[in-house]
Structure 1
């Protein structure tokens, strides 16, 4: 049996929005982008959303809006994809890593204040695997120190914890990459309750010009100006057309992923040598299903699953041990031991709404066998 690591569900969403977009005038940013932004806000309970080309662009642009750059520091986690810290680097600031909670892999809020210096301007939590960080504690720290909160919410826009939702305490940056909870292949957005940030992003995503193509060419022609040096980072109506049906089914898709996670939970409870990261009270976005195994056996387990035609991944190797960050900042093994334990132990299993119970059975049976073979 072959089990792909991920399969999108676009074939279930219908093609009406996409066909209408292709038949229309605007393939670039236009009315469907605006409609998607509105419906995303409605689902998340936020005031504004701005569609962009990626979560990485979103993170960098929010930092730049707040004037964060050369000489500044942003506190974040080493347990994420490199895009998180790369966005800080691209803005000209320095990422300052804080170790993670051993149970969840999320940034350990109790360690954040020790990392704050006079140069610190922002905290960038990452909601790993779809579970919200301790945003109540992070929000309190940010208020005490006058810091901006920029959420890397690439893994969830659905999560809630302690009565707090994504983007409620600061700008949330979302990803619509190929494997994300809703996808347009590539894409991202900023969701927030700050109209000043949103209005700036609308210009910044299109070179800093005062009017996009839709507003210039709808009705009588309107001249535009360039207010500041911006970027080329706008979402297109083609992307929005793919995303609209998915955001309308977001709760249904989350329910399906939660069901698949439940199948895994029940079966893995009987497999020795496997630990599942803690799931806390609240709403988990259920982006990835990652298990932790003995680091000495992890790579052999990965290969054993691949030998059985099962797609796997590692989410993630900690960023501070990547060559670029090691060489630039002098990080060494042992600097962030909990993140390193996570990074050395993770095996991400196939996980998506259409995954069948039969295939979950096969994956778990294969994992058990691969563990035994690995000694």
Structure 2
């Protein structure tokens, strides 16, 4: 049986929305992007949303708009996708990598506290796999040291913990709409905050640093734009936004289906003595389903599952062991053992609402068989 690693849940209405834009006059950042920003603001409870072309750009633009740059340090976890740290470097600042909790894979307030120096300006908690970090404690720590909190919510649109949602305790939240995300347009992202001035600065630096965008010039009486500061080209266009606007209405129902799938996997694998998984706290957004297996056999297990037609991935390798970060900062194995242990054991399984029951049964059967024989 063939089981793809991921299949999106776009429907005919989403496709029709794109066709409508393609048949219109305006293709770039315009009224559909603005509609998405309004709907996403309502869903997240964060008043100001700026749609951009990736979560990486959202984090980069947030750092720039907050004035974080050369000479500054930003604390990031060792267990995350590489862009959490590279966004810091794009802003000219230095990522200070810290270890994570062994059970959840999340950065802890204790690890952050130990890494704070007079040069620390911000921390980027990563809500890995869809589980929120301990944001009340991180907020208290940030207030104590005067730090910005830029939440990496690439995995976590729907999550909740301790009565809080992503971005509600941080300075801002950054989201991904990459091809495999719960809310997707292939490539895209968003910056969200309750701070109107910060949102305005992000909107400006994400569109060259211009005072007015094309939509302002097209839909209103023409007024001249100005270049008020140096910026980048990170805006999201109406074509991609058209894929997102309808999905927002389905987010909660799709989450229910993923939660049911999560329970099926957990029921099957939690009893296996050779398998583990990240601990879930609060309402997880259920972006990925990751199992932890024998590190000595992890790659062989990956390959065996692929040979049986099952798509798999590794989310993630500990970032300090990636060549660029090792060479730039002199990291080595043993520096962040919890992140290394997770990275060495991780296998991410197919986990999406389009999976048929027989495919889920097949994945479970093959994982248990391969693990038993390894």
Q: TM-score, normalised by structure 2?
A: 0.98
* SS of corresponding position for 1:291: strand
**Contact 2:14 2:244 (C-alpha < 8 Å) held by counterparts:** no
Match in the other structure for 2:234: 233
Q: CA deviation at 1:277?
A: 1.3
**Structure 1: which 5+ runs fail to align?**
none
Say whether residues 1:187 and 2:188 are aligned partners.
yes
The runs of 4+ residues in structure 1 deviating greater than 4 Å are none
Q: CA deviation at 1:250?
A: 0.9
Match in the other structure for 2:6: 6
**Contact 1:129 1:288 (C-alpha < 8 Å) held by counterparts:** yes
CA distance in 1, matches of 2:17, 2:160: 29
Which structure 2 residues correspond to residues 43-58 of structure 1 after superposition, within 5 A? 43-58=43-58
Count of aligned residue pairs for this structure pair = 373
Match in the other structure for 1:27: 27
Q: Which moved more, 1:251-260 or 1:266-275?
A: 266-275
Q: CA deviation at 1:12?
A: 5.4
**Structure 2: which 5+ runs fail to align?**
none
* SS of corresponding position for 2:297: helix
* SS of corresponding position for 1:202: helix
**Contact 2:178 2:185 (C-alpha < 8 Å) held by counterparts:** yes
Which structure 2 residues correspond to residues 189-268 of structure 1 after superposition, within 5 A? 189-268=190-269
Structure 1, residues 177-224: CA drift from partner, whole Å, max 9, x if none? 100111110001101101011111222121111111111121422211
Q: CA deviation at 1:276?
A: 1.9
Relative distance call for 1:183 and 1:114 in structure 2 (3 A) is same
**Contact 2:161 2:283 (C-alpha < 8 Å) held by counterparts:** yes
Q: Which moved more, 1:265-274 or 1:331-340?
A: 265-274
Say whether residues 1:63 and 2:63 are aligned partners.
yes
CA distance in 1, matches of 2:156, 2:102: 20
CA distance in 1, matches of 2:288, 2:12: 20
**Contact 2:73 2:122 (C-alpha < 8 Å) held by counterparts:** yes
Match in the other structure for 1:163: 163
CA distance in 2, matches of 1:220, 1:71: 43
Q: CA deviation at 1:244?
A: 0.6
Q: TM-score, normalised by structure 1?
A: 0.97
Relative distance call for 1:308 and 1:62 in structure 2 (3 A) is same
Match in the other structure for 2:363: 363
CA distance in 2, matches of 1:95, 1:155: 20
CA distance in 1, matches of 2:30, 2:153: 25
